[in-house]
Amino acid sequence: MNKPGKELVVVTGISGAGKASALKTFEDLGYHAVDNLPLELLTEFAELVRKSKEVERAAIVVDVREGPTLDRLPVILKRVKAVLPTRVVFLDAQDAVLVRRYSETRRPHPLRRSETVSRSIVEERQLLDPIRNVADTLIDTSNFNVHELRAHIQSRFGHGDESNRLLVSCLSFGFKNGVPLDADLVFDVRFLPNPHFVPQFRRKTGKDPKVAAFVRGFAQTEEFLGKVTDLMLYLLPHYVMEGKSYLTVAFGCTGGQHRSVMMAEEMRKRLKKAGYQVKAIHRDIPK
């Protein structure tokens, strides 16, 4: 697939319709994300994106928090579109759904001027009506949960293979230093023979080819790697479908120096070969 060109997405719409979740999805898709950018900086921001060698695509949220100057957005958008290809995405939802969401989260409406959330929603619709009329994409989130909204945005704005939207971190650690709090999956590899008790390996790590060869030299190592690889290749597509953008798979041994490091490195290679974005992190080896 061809590499996408420069692009700016302006996310706007009714408060409570999911703009924060939408912006996070754009960020996970590789867009440079900015929340609540002041309108007077929008044209300048578009120019910076156009000239940038690092930023290809950007997404910003502009909404009722802008205040009285919000009515200038349609005019400013014309100038912005002359600088950079720009799409306006307007998120909306039914009033009853919005009221329920505010009730569930117990968050105040950003206008805060009306006595009730219902009245604030009516006032906000009036303020945003000119912007809705110039939107390129209207998304009604009334029947979407967070995962469904994410999937909808990915299907309309994503580029490339779905597997590239999931970043997998293969993390090694030592149980003596505690289990990582951010691990989604944890595998205990202390059942494997420990290179620590081999004098020539004690001061090395699992990244050393000789240490890795030692650990791999046992039948249970290869069997374990095969079973975990099969499990990961089964699970990862399901995580992608659920909208997960990152996954941490942790391998733990006693000190986090040898067995877990070798496992994390090997799993990184296998998942990368399968087409996933993967990185290896070694929490407990000397920096």
Which structural domains are found in the chain, ordered by start? 7-160 (3.40.50.300), 163-282 (no CATH)
Q: What is the mean pLDDT of residues 262-281?
A: 93
Calculate mean pLDDT across residues 254-270.
96
Share of the chain above pLDDT 70, in %: 94
User: In the structure encoding, which two tokens stand for residue 11, read together?
Assistant: 């996310």
- Sorted by sequence, the CB contacts under 8 Å of residue 232 that are 6+ apart come out as 249, 267, 270, 271
Which residue would you say has higher pLDDT here, 102 or 196? Answer: 196
> Could you give the strand order of the β-sheet that contains 246-253, starting from the edge strand earlier in sequence?
185-188, 246-253, 167-174, 277-282
Q: Residue 37: is its pLDDT beyond 80?
A: yes
Mean per-residue pLDDT, 255-274: 96
Quick: pLDDT tens for 186-217.
Answer: 999 999 999 999 999 999 999 999 999 999 99
- Which 3 state secondary structure label does DSSP give 282? strand
Q: Which pLDDT does position 65 carry in this prediction?
A: 84
Per-residue model confidence (pLDDT) at position 107 = 75
Q: Inform me whether the pLDDT recorded for 57 exceeds 60.
A: yes
Contact 272, 202 (CB under 8 A): no
| DSSP three-state, residue 84 | coil
What SS3 state is found at 257?
Answer: coil
Distance CA 207, CA 285 (A): 10
Which one has a higher pLDDT value, 152 or 284? 284
pLDDT of residue 113: 58
For residue 98, what are its two tokens?
């919005």
Q: Is 36 helix (H, G, I), strand (E, B) or coil?
A: coil
pTM of structure = 0.57
Nearest CA to 10 out of 146, 126, 134 is that of 134
Per-residue pLDDT, 145: 85
Cβ–Cβ under 8 Å, residues 257 and 206: yes
Average pLDDT, integer, range 212-226: 96
**What is the model's pLDDT at position 265?**
97
Angle (CA) 121-119-65 rounded to 5° is 45
* pLDDT of 229 higher than 80: yes
SS3 62: coil
Mean predicted confidence (pLDDT) in 116-124 = 86
Q: Minimal CA–CA distance to 263: which of 250, 254, 248? A: 250
The pLDDT tens digits of the residues spanning 128-163 come to 888 889 899 999 888 888 888 888 888 788 765 554
Residue 188: strand, helix, or coil? strand
**H or E, element range at 271:** helix 259-273
The answer to which of 21-30, 74-83, 151-160, 168-177 has the lowest mean pLDDT is 151-160
- pLDDT at position 103 is 80
**246-253/86-92 β-pairing:** unpaired
Contacts of 199 (CB under 8 A, 6+ apart): none
User: Measured on CA atoms in the order 152, 155, 158, 161, is the torsion positive or negative?
Assistant: positive
What integer pLDDT is reported at residue 1 of this predicted model? 37
Position with higher pLDDT, 45 vs 1: 45
